[in-house]
Structure 1
Amino acid sequence: MGTLKFLIAAGGTGGHVYPAIAIADALREAYADTEFLFVGTKNHMEWEAVPRAGYDISSIWISGFHRRLTLKNLLFPVKLGTSLVQSLRIVHTFRPDAVISCGGYAAGPVGWVAAKSGYPLVIQEQNSFPGVTNRLLGKSAELIFTAFKEAEAFFPRDHIVLAGNPTRKSLTSADPKQAYEHFGFDPGRSTLLILGGSGGARSINEAITKHISRLHDEMQLQVIWQCGERYYERLRDDIQPAHFENLLLTDFLHKMPEAYAVADLVVSRAGALSCSELALTGKPSILVPSPNVAGDHQTKNAESMVQEGAAERLADDQLSETLAGLVKQLITDRQRLKAMQKAALKLARPEAAKTIANEIITLVSNKRPL
């Protein structure tokens, strides 16, 4: 078939960007002669994460439409028009064999232009309640990969493949001994990993701020706390991390395999990608669904983990009162942690990215035969 070219549109959060990177990695592994171009926005995490993963990225000028009345919405029609022109230029210059949408702001204009121009459009939807971009693009997609059966209600059924969420293979690649050395931690002590998603989570940060002395000093836990860029400076000033010998406060974790390798328990939002990563790495977790997401899909994600025995769920408004107590209850019960680990691993779908890659290559080969 010669070189296969894939245009991948994803952006805004790690929940869109990292599955896109995992798909690209799997495509490159499945077919040696490939060329990739990602499309995103300059002011979001994809602008750093995609080049770090070894892929080229182009930008378009687009952002979300705010549900509340705001001056920013006045710019939206201008941004949309500009992004469509930019997408048209990118698509027709790159001439991909397939366009892959993983959701986020950038995926809308690129996917729409691709479908209208006759390029095969593929969607990967991470959540049980699909985002508005993928719901709109679903009508034009030739393949739609879902991670939850509930998502089928929003797409044409004959184009759906239930594949699971693609996760980075590297997440399980860290050597535990080297990971402990990287963080300067003691393998003989328990480690708590706190994740608020790529943007951080205000309520989780507030609860940890309230209880950090109890977690670190009283329980003697080693703590890795990814708080998000927007919260980092204020928390650094409030917490004074230097006062806590075994605390790593960071805006963003670039060494996720190492962080998972040392974690005994994880406190996390219940985004689809987070749940998939927790399953893949077999990490017991306390899941705190965000109350600010469409369709309350994080609660649905968390419940599926809880029902299988892999996690405990805490309501966002109960965090401040109950988080430290639940952490203590779980992290001191080694048998319970081991049972949660086994349950999490049973939920893992490590072949998701490979399944998606093989289906996409089959689609492309049918359109461009040998």
Structure 2
Amino acid sequence: MHSEQKDISSTVGPTSAAMGKPRVLIAAGGTGGHVYPAIAIADALREECAETEILFVGTENHMEWHAVPEAGYDIKSIWISGFHRRLTLKNLLFPVKLATSIAQSFSIISTFKPDIVVSCGGYVAGPVGWVATKRGVPLVIQEQNSFPGVTNRMLAKSAEVIFTAFKDADQYFPEGETRVSGNPTRSELVEADRQASYESFNFDPQKKTLLVLGGSGGARAINEAMAANVERLHALNLQVIWQCGRSYFDKYRGRIDFEKLPNIRLKDFLKNMDEAYAVADLVVSRAGALSCSELALTGKPSILVPSPNVAGDHQTKNARSMVNEGAAELVTDSELSNTLVSLVEKLINDQERLKQMQKAALKLARPDAANDIAKVILNLTEEKERI
């Protein structure tokens, strides 16, 4: 076991307003858990130093290819995918993709000439981070989970700083290099006007609202539990926002008669997450690191359903941290369908319990995480200029 993580608040110093134009390359891809913290860091960099030049690296067939430009940033692609642990013909292409991605990363870094590279995880960050260290470009890692991903673990020995969200991640990284920061979250999540948000969903402010998050790809257990119980939930006189993921949307839209369920809003993806959080009295969600951080930031009571298909069972660890603080209830995949309605009914009608869960969630929030990370990154670029 390594020594305790340093608290980032003791290491953040002032940044120079006259440091020129820092150039920051951010590699992140695959899922929202990697991409949205990266965007939050980019936003904070621009807030700290408006002249910061930022470029993202991702892949064309994942969510970053749309989410990053929508956030106002440029992105370049490399051709890379993960290595499948089971035998598959797709693995035959992996050496070719890896060699190609390294060449593409070399070209991007040579052209953009970053002062620093930030890895927020996902396999796209592997070639970019590796080339950066070989070219002498300082590397910073931001790890979202209690059990770090393979890419960040591989890059860790070459990193200048490793920002972590959970103390549990410390043991997987070089001793003394980690700094606890919390997960960067989007500040706009808490900026929505609540009345306008109810109008956006055509909801009644006097009724309780349940927000169900199936994730960008869709969480099968959550979606199947919702499909099995959606009529019973509607009968509780609840308003429900059910974000099922793009891969499930057509299936449920064709299978369920939503004309008979006027208080249910089935969504493939929520671009207006700020408004969804604003109206939610209770949230059902997976327990990914980003989801837990957003629930804390917005102070939302939650029912967490950890995915059993993640490395190191880190979602269960994340969920138990929330439960132990009184901010959430934990339900397993196998229990969810049978317990969803009764648990939702019990919690959403207990105003005092909801208030207690809200206070507990807010105590876990680290709203300054992105800005703290951005300040350290800018200080590192300033140090590089002085060398």
1:349 aligns with 2:349: no
* Distance (Å, rounded) in 2 between the aligned partners of 1:81 and 1:222: 51
Match of 2:171 in 1: 153
Q: Shift of residue 30 of structure 1?
A: 0.6
Q: Could you tell me how far 1:155 is from its partner in structure 2?
A: 0.9
Q: Secondary structure of 1:129's partner?
A: coil
SS of structure 2 residue aligned to 1:122? strand
Which residues of structure 2 form unaligned runs of 5+? 1-18
Larger relative CO (CA 8 A, sep 6+): 1 or 2? 2
* SS of residue paired to 2:121: coil
Q: What is the deviation of 1:241?
A: 2.4
1:57 to 72, 75, 78: 75
Provide the rounded CA distance (Å) in 2 between the counterparts of 1:256 and 1:60. Answer: 29
2:327 aligned residue: 310
TM-superposed deviation, 1:177:
0.4
Output one character per residue of 1:308-329: Cα deviation in whole Å (capped at 9) or x when no partner: 0000000111111111111111
Q: Which runs of 4+ in 1 moved over 4 A?
A: none
2:266 is matched with 249
1:194 maps onto 2:212 in alignment: yes
Aligned to 1:119: 137
Distance across 2 between alignment mates of 1:103 and 1:243:
43
Amino acid at match of 1:342: K
TM-score, normalised to structure 2, is: 0.94
CA distance in 1, matches of 2:226, 2:254: 15
After superposition, residues 335-346 of structure 1 pair within 5 angstroms as: 335-346=352-363
**Which stretch of the first structure deviates more once superposed, 345-354 or 236-245?**
236-245
Q: What is the 5 A alignment of 1:232-271?
A: 232-271=249-288
CA distance in 2, matches of 1:363, 1:78: 34
- Decide whether aligned partners of structure 1 residues 40 and 214 sit closer, same or farther in structure 2, where only a CA change above 3 A counts: same
Residue in 1 that maps onto 2:158? 140
Q: After TM superposition, give the deviation of residue 180 of structure 1 in Å.
A: 0.3
The equivalent position to 2:185 in structure 1, one of 143, 164, 167, is 167
Take 1:240 and 1:97, find their aligned partners in 2: how far apart are those partners?
A: 54
Instruction: Return the TM-score normalized by structure 1.
Output: 0.98
Mapped partners of 1:66, 1:328: distance in 2? 41
Question: Deviation of residue 195 (structure 1)?
Answer: 0.6
Once residues 220 and 70 of structure 1 are traced to their aligned partners in structure 2, the CA distance between those partners, rounded to angstroms, is: 48
Partner of 1:95: 113
RMSD: 0.9
How far apart in 2 are the matches of 1:366 and 1:158? 20
Structure 2 residue 85 is the aligned partner of structure 1 residue 67: yes
- 1:280 is matched with 297
Query: 1:33: Cα distance to partner?
Result: 1.2
**Quick check: 188-197 or 258-267, which moved more?**
188-197
Q: Tell me the SS of whatever aligns to 1:252.
A: coil
Shift of 1:286: 0.1
Per-residue deviation, 1:334: 0.7
Q: Unpaired runs of 5+ in structure 1? A: none
Distance 1:136 1:187 in 2: 49
Q: In structure 1, what residue type is equivalent to 2:348?
A: I
1:29 alignment counterpart: 47
> What does the per-residue CA deviation read over 1:40-70, in whole Å, with 9 as the maximum and x for residues that have no partner?
0111100110001000001111111111111
1:110 maps to 128
Matched, 1:294 2:294: no
Give the Cα separation in 1 of the matches to 2:344 and 2:50: 46
The CA deviation at 1:247 is: 1.2
**Distance (whole Å) between structure 1 residues aligned to residue 158 and residue 46 of structure 2:** 25
Higher mean displacement: 181-190 or 194-203: 194-203
Rounded Cα–Cα distance in structure 1 between residues aligned with 2:178 and 2:385: 22
1:102-152 per-residue CA deviation (whole Å, 9 max, x = no partner) reads: 001211111111111110000000000000000001011001000001111
Distance, in Å, in 1 between the alignment partners of 2:172 and 2:127 is 20
How far apart, CA to CA, are the structure 2 residues paired with 1:20 and 1:157? 24
In the TM superposition, what whole-angstrom CA distance separates every residue of 1:261-304 from its partner, at most 9, and x where no partner exists? 00000000000000000000000000000000000000000000
Q: 2:385 maps to what in 1?
A: 368
Equivalent position SS for 1:349:
coil
CA distance in 1, matches of 2:205, 2:89: 52
SS at match of 1:235: helix
Give SS of 2:176's match: helix
- Which amino acid in 2 is paired with 1:34? T
Question: Matches of 1:256 and 1:228 in 2, distance apart?
Answer: 14
Deviation at 1:330, TM superposition (A): 0.4
- Number of aligned positions between the proteins: 369
Give the deviation of 1:244 after TM superposition.
Answer: 1.4
- What's 1:182 paired with? 200
